[in-house]
A and B are shown apart, each in its own frame.
Chain A
Amino acid sequence: MWRFIALRTLQAIPVILTVITVTFFLVRAAPGGPFASEKAVMPQVQAALEARYRLDQPMLQQYVSYLGDLVRGDLGPTFRYPGRTVDELILDGLPITAELGLYAMIVAVLLGVSAGVVASLRPNTAQDYVPMSAAMVGICMPSFLLGPLLVLIFGIWLQWLPVSGWGASPGDKILPSITLGAMYAGYIARLSRSGMLDVLSQDYLRTARAKGLPEYKVILKHALRGGLLPVISYLGPAFAHMLSGSFVVETIFQIPGLGRFYVQAAFNRDYTMILGTTIFLAVLIVVFNLLSDIVATWLNPRLRYQFRK
């Protein structure tokens, strides 16, 4: 097992290095720049700005010094927010985004797994079609539609919940969590349904029933364990994405997380911010893929056996 983790960690290094390199040169190749403005920027001002951010150095030298800083954990100063660093902005938004991601994950797993399991018990009946259709709606409905819709119903019409904010007034965390979780819930429902269907026809379940186990025990203790494996491997990258924030949900609900930085940094050509957020997301995905593999191994005895060898 430890060998497996060490191997995967080593494999991650070239992946992340590739991400850094491609991003670094790609953003600089894009037209425009961090100091472009609708108003004329005087040449000496442009030169002073470029010098301050070391953009006047040869590209390769910038790349090398960026990597050097990165090793020390320094993602550099942002272009858009003079006086702030990329590290600071990411660390500042992370707790809020992570909290939102966690709630969204809970919503997604609770709704998704229960709908998927329920649907898998009576395939091709109304009990299957209704939750699966709902899941499809969840997948297809973009959050920029679902969010304002929920706000309109629960915020403006019923006046049950605040229309925006995060931790400022009671209940303001509910609508964003549902909005962000809904799409993932749909995927999870479909994955858990098909996973369950595969498992439910297996011999060991017939054995369990033959032993006279009550049906709920058969499902909850035996079937779920195998049936949810596809969900587990999906949850890794899904949670990585949730942790990196959602531009749409954070904008709609006015949440001070870090999701907005991803999109704005690209629009602003904020080179260091684009790199910082991209590296952050890449690392998250690698880590959570690894975690979900570990959990899957732990749940699946066959995989466990392989590692023991």
Chain B
Amino acid sequence: MNLNILALKTPLVLVAALSLLAGCGGGGEDGEGSSRGESRVDEGVRLGVAHVGNAAEPAALDPHITTGLGESYIIQSLFEGLVVKNPETLEPDPGVAESWDISADGRTYTFHLRNDAKWSNGDPLTAEDFRWSWQRALAPELGSQYNYMFYSIVNAQEFATGALTDFSQVGVRVVDDYTLEVQLREPTPYFLQLLDHHSTYPVHRATIEAFGSPTDRLSQWARVGSHVGNGPFKLVEWQINSHVRVEKSDTYWDAATTKLNAIVFYPIDSQTTEERMFRDGQLHHTYDVPLDKVPVYLAEQPELIHVSPYLGSYFYNINTTRKPLDDVRVRRALAMSIDRELLAETVTQGIYTPGYSVVPPGTMGYEPPKLFDYDPEAARQLMAEAGYPDGQGFPGFTILYNTLEQHQKIAVAIQQMWRQELGINVQIQNQEWQVYLNSHNLMDYDVVRRGWIGDYVDPNNFLDLFITDGGNNHTGFSNARYDEIILRAAPATQDRDARYALYREAEEILMAEMPVIPLYIYQSKHLHDARLKGMPFNLMDSRNWKHVYFDPQAAQ
């Protein structure tokens, strides 16, 4: 009986069931759409709570252990170093240190700590806290992957490698509760820059010791309930794969400046999910923007997207120990036959800028010299000199990249350009990330894709990649003068102009030998609610959360 009636309508059953389920779920009596109630961003503006997309789930919130950029954004809200970067200029501003003196020879830094700096549990923050924290960060047992940040301090490297076990011989001295003296091996003009890196932040001794050995990286102190920091915010909630919530800390010395009541960081693995969440009114600020969405936003809603130069570059490393790449003429020819303008315009949709140096331009006033150009004619000439006129007899090689669509597009474009301009055929090959890292570290490649994001704003951070046998070199490149500049001459030069001149000389050596082919300079990209203010563009994409605030009246 009923069955026949049912039967008649069944073709629609699936469709009906689907829409029924979806429809009744629409919040029922709650109403829907923009009338689905106040969106999360609107509520956030009203309550002073910023909702921010933040890459992957944070590995940890112990500043001496983490290595990721996402973690560093959260940690910058929970801790503060001796100095902080000015978000506009990136020059050092006072942090825990109220002021500092630098000796005439540039080797002794005396930091005067403010008397009112406190931990989030109310304990006073003293110079001894820094000494102890730096000892912990450098301890070989902790295995901090950033401990090289301290290497400009006398004996720090010796302590970190275990050659020295007595920390009192390291150049860090507590003069009194609020005075810390640091001895450097060389003047190292970028030393202050390092003090705003999370690896040099202070940590709370009593808390960490209560959780066992201070140098146990598996210690559980850095969790909700026991986490103690000294930054403008304190850790309140941490739900794995969901969110981390920090709230304004009243014990912070400059709490009067802190404007937001809370920040919620969302770990979001997928950029497209993040973009949808932004469109749905769940986020004020995204960690990134899918590359293919950038032109759409730029064309249709430019007020919602921020694109600005970033301290990172994309390049190909060459294995200079393999034929035919051991010939500098071949390497230069390869570099000169890539049309970077075209590459940036097409493959990166005009977002990234062509790069002619590994050092991004504008790093604290440093402009890298342009030492070669797109010149296919000269490139062909070089190839002929090397014995491969029009690519004849060229044995070929392989471009290696880690599996990602964007890297593949670039490799294919470059493969095509080399075929067209030089008449050579090269292979391209992708490997899964870990396999790729392995091949790179073992120098089991011909030409390999690389990227480098700066940890501090100084050309040194990019140029020291290529020192002889450097841990990040892996190209076989070695030049005595280059090493001399990077390791000794530049760190010993206090005058900025003179130092930059040395870096330019180093770049000339590097580009003459061409163990690396610069391709383009990264840009940081975010979707951003116009009401969220106090996050100026800067090269490091760094934030100082205490200056961030809402302006509800700002144009949406």
Q: Which of A44-52, A235-243, A294-302 contacts B (4 or more CB under 8 A)?
A: A44-52
Q: Which of A191-199, A252-260, A273-281 contacts B (4 or more CB under 8 A)?
A: A252-260
Determine whether the beta carbon of A174 is less than 8 Å from that of B21.
yes
Determine whether the beta carbon of A118 is less than 8 Å from that of B13.
yes
Chain A nearest CB, measured from B62 CB (Å): 7
Report chain A residues within 8 Å CB of B239. Answer: 256
Known: A36-B434, A44-B162, A83-B62. A131 touches B13 (CB 8 A): yes
Any A CB within 8 A of the CB of B323: no
Determine whether the beta carbon of B434 is less than 8 Å from that of A42.
no
Determine whether the beta carbon of A256 is less than 8 Å from that of B276.
no
Which B residue's beta carbon lies closest to that of A32? B434
Determine whether the beta carbon of B32 is less than 8 Å from that of A160.
yes
Which A residue's beta carbon lies closest to that of B65? A82
Any B CB within 8 A of the CB of A3: no
Determine whether the beta carbon of B60 is less than 8 Å from that of A118.
no
Determine whether the beta carbon of A214 is less than 8 Å from that of B1.
yes
Determine whether the beta carbon of A254 is less than 8 Å from that of B268.
yes
Any B CB within 8 A of the CB of A121: yes
Which among A215, A256, A267 is the interface contact of B3 at CB below 8 angstroms?
A215
Chain B nearest CB, measured from A183 CB (Å): 14
Chain B nearest CB, measured from A264 CB (Å): 8
Any A CB within 8 A of the CB of B390: no
Chain A nearest CB, measured from B187 CB (Å): 24
Sample of 19 further A-B pairs with CB below 8 A, known A39-B472, A115-B14, A134-B14:
A32-B437, A44-B140, A45-B145, A48-B141, A49-B143, A114-B17, A155-B280, A158-B33, A160-B23, A160-B26, A160-B27, A160-B33, A161-B25, A164-B280, A170-B28, A174-B21, A178-B21, A219-B3, A252-B270
Which among A32, A83, A174 is the interface contact of B22 at CB below 8 angstroms?
A174
Q: Which of B95-103, B218-226, B228-236 contacts A (4 or more CB under 8 A)?
A: B218-226
Known: A159-B36, A174-B25. A127 touches B7 (CB 8 A): yes
Any A CB within 8 A of the CB of B372: no
Which A residue's beta carbon lies closest to that of B439? A31
Chain A nearest CB, measured from B3 CB (Å): 5
Determine whether the beta carbon of B437 is less than 8 Å from that of A38.
yes
Task: Type the 1/0 row for A248-273, where 1 means its CB is closer than 8 Å to any CB of B.
Answer: 00111111110010001001010000
Chain B nearest CB, measured from A280 CB (Å): 16
- Bound-state CA distance A11–B40 (Å) is 52
Task: Type the 1/0 row for A217-250, where 1 means its CB is closer than 8 Å to any CB of B.
Answer: 0010000000000000000000000000000001
- Bound-state CA distance A118–B7 (Å) is 7
- Bound-state CA distance A258–B27 (Å) is 26
Total residues of chain B contacting the partner, CB 8 A: 78
Determine whether the beta carbon of A107 is less than 8 Å from that of B21.
yes
Determine whether the beta carbon of B438 is less than 8 Å from that of A36.
yes
Known: A81-B59, A164-B276, A215-B3. A131 touches B11 (CB 8 A): yes
Determine whether the beta carbon of B240 is less than 8 Å from that of A44.
no
Determine whether the beta carbon of B277 is less than 8 Å from that of A164.
yes
Task: Type the 1/0 row for B1-40, where 1 means its CB is closer than 8 Å to any CB of A.
Answer: 1110011001101110110011101111010111011001
How many A residues are at the interface, by size bracket? 35 or more
Report chain A residues within 8 Å CB of B437. Answer: 32, 36-38
- Bound-state CA distance A80–B240 (Å) is 13
Chain A nearest CB, measured from B230 CB (Å): 20
Chain B, range 27-55, C-beta contacts under 8 Å to A:
27-28, 30, 32-34, 36-37, 40
Which A residue's beta carbon lies closest to that of B431? A31
- Bound-state CA distance A31–B272 (Å) is 30
Report chain A residues within 8 Å CB of B18. Answer: 111, 178
Report chain A residues within 8 Å CB of B432. Answer: 267
Report chain A residues within 8 Å CB of B160. Answer: 42, 44
Report chain B residues within 8 Å CB of A40. Answer: 470-472
Which among A52, A107, A175 is the interface contact of B143 at CB below 8 angstroms?
A52
Determine whether the beta carbon of B279 is less than 8 Å from that of A31.
no
Report chain A residues within 8 Å CB of B65. Answer: 82
Determine whether the beta carbon of B33 is less than 8 Å from that of A32.
no
Chain A nearest CB, measured from B410 CB (Å): 17
Report chain A residues within 8 Å CB of B60. Answer: 81-83
Determine whether the beta carbon of A178 is less than 8 Å from that of B22.
yes
Any B CB within 8 A of the CB of A63: no
Report chain A residues within 8 Å CB of B28. Answer: 170
Which among A45, A162, A165 is the interface contact of B147 at CB below 8 angstroms?
A45
Chain B nearest CB, measured from A248 CB (Å): 10
Chain B nearest CB, measured from A110 CB (Å): 7
Any A CB within 8 A of the CB of B367: no
Any A CB within 8 A of the CB of B435: yes
Known: A126-B11, A158-B32, A160-B22. A254 touches B277 (CB 8 A): yes
Report chain B residues within 8 Å CB of A30. Answer: 434
Determine whether the beta carbon of B434 is less than 8 Å from that of A131.
no
- Bound-state CA distance A41–B222 (Å) is 24
- Bound-state CA distance A163–B281 (Å) is 10
Any B CB within 8 A of the CB of A56: no
Known: A77-B218, A118-B7. A163 touches B14 (CB 8 A): no
Report chain B residues within 8 Å CB of A83. Answer: 60, 62, 217-223
Report chain B residues within 8 Å CB of A155. Answer: 276, 280
Chain A nearest CB, measured from B35 CB (Å): 8
What are 20 of the A-B contact pairs (CB < 8 Å)? A33-B434, A36-B437, A42-B148, A46-B143, A81-B60, A111-B14, A111-B17, A111-B18, A115-B10, A130-B10, A130-B14, A164-B276, A170-B30, A171-B27, A178-B18, A216-B1, A251-B269, A251-B273, A254-B242, A254-B268
Any A CB within 8 A of the CB of B77: no
Chain A nearest CB, measured from B301 CB (Å): 14
Determine whether the beta carbon of B26 is less than 8 Å from that of A161.
yes
4 closest A-B pairs by CB: A40-B471, A32-B434, A159-B33, A174-B25
Any A CB within 8 A of the CB of B241: yes
Determine whether the beta carbon of A115 is less than 8 Å from that of B26.
no
Any B CB within 8 A of the CB of A156: yes
- Bound-state CA distance A74–B326 (Å) is 52
- Bound-state CA distance A272–B435 (Å) is 19
Determine whether the beta carbon of B7 is less than 8 Å from that of A122.
yes
Chain B, range 440-468, C-beta contacts under 8 Å to A:
441, 451
Any A CB within 8 A of the CB of B93: no
Chain A nearest CB, measured from B21 CB (Å): 6
Report chain A residues within 8 Å CB of B270. Answer: 251-252
Chain A nearest CB, measured from B406 CB (Å): 16
Report chain A residues within 8 Å CB of B477. Answer: none
Any A CB within 8 A of the CB of B266: yes
Report chain B residues within 8 Å CB of A154. Answer: 22, 26
Known: A32-B433, A40-B471, A215-B1. A156 touches B25 (CB 8 A): no
Report chain A residues within 8 Å CB of B471. Answer: 39-42
- Bound-state CA distance A115–B441 (Å) is 56
Report chain B residues within 8 Å CB of A158. Answer: 32-33
Which among A107, A127, A163, A267 is the interface contact of B11 at CB below 8 angstroms?
A127
- Bound-state CA distance A175–B32 (Å) is 15
Chain A nearest CB, measured from B23 CB (Å): 7
Determine whether the beta carbon of A37 is less than 8 Å from that of B280.
no
Report chain B residues within 8 Å CB of A32. Answer: 433-435, 437-438
Chain A, range 96-112, C-beta contacts under 8 Å to B:
107, 110-111
- Bound-state CA distance A250–B65 (Å) is 27
Determine whether the beta carbon of A256 is less than 8 Å from that of B242.
yes
- Bound-state CA distance A154–B32 (Å) is 10
Determine whether the beta carbon of A171 is less than 8 Å from that of B26.
yes
Which among A38, A81, A159 is the interface contact of B32 at CB below 8 angstroms?
A159
Determine whether the beta carbon of B11 is less than 8 Å from that of A52.
no
Report chain B residues within 8 Å CB of A19. Answer: none
Determine whether the beta carbon of B266 is less than 8 Å from that of A254.
yes
Report chain A residues within 8 Å CB of B37. Answer: 169
